[in-house]
Amino acid sequence: MGKHFGELARVRHVITYSLSPFEQRAVPNIISHGIPNVMRRFRSQVLKVVPPFAIAYLIYSWGTQEFERLKRKNPADYEHDQ
């Protein structure tokens, strides 16, 4: 009748390699190499990432404060309304 899902196409000249899960080490040297590598990467990128975020936060907070200030009515405009 029809072909089953695993037999839809015939792939030739493809070589695959695999390693037995019993021969792999899932997290080799995570403490001795992984954590220092994360710290090194963090230190190398912090001066590229933090200043734009700090500037964006300052602009956002200034804009929010300015919006709240401009939204209020000026009491001096209504002194003689009686």
Tell whether 21 is covered by a domain.
no
6 vs 56: which has the higher pLDDT: 56
**Tokens 């037995």 belong to residue:** 20
Tell whether 79 is covered by a domain.
no
Instruction: Compute the distance between CA of residue 39 and CA of residue 52 in angstroms, rounded to an integer.
Output: 21
How much is the pLDDT for 28? Answer: 81
How much is the pLDDT for 37? Answer: 94
Tell whether 47 is covered by a domain.
yes
Tell whether 61 is covered by a domain.
yes
Tell whether 14 is covered by a domain.
no
Instruction: Compute the distance between CA of residue 61 and CA of residue 47 in angstroms, rounded to an integer.
Output: 22
| Residue 1 pLDDT > 80 | no
CATH assignment at residue 57: 1.20.5.210
pLDDT in tens, 65-80: 999 999 998 888 888 8
Q: Which of 33-37, 41-45, 73-77 has the lowest mean pLDDT?
A: 73-77
Instruction: Compute the distance between CA of residue 54 and CA of residue 62 in angstroms, rounded to an integer.
Output: 12
Tell whether 18 is covered by a domain.
no
25: confidence class by pLDDT, cuts 50, 70, 90: confident
Tell whether 76 is covered by a domain.
no
Q: Give the residue numbers spanning the domain of 53.
A: 33-71
Tell whether 52 is covered by a domain.
yes
How much is the pLDDT for 2? Answer: 66
Question: How many domains, the chain?
Answer: 1
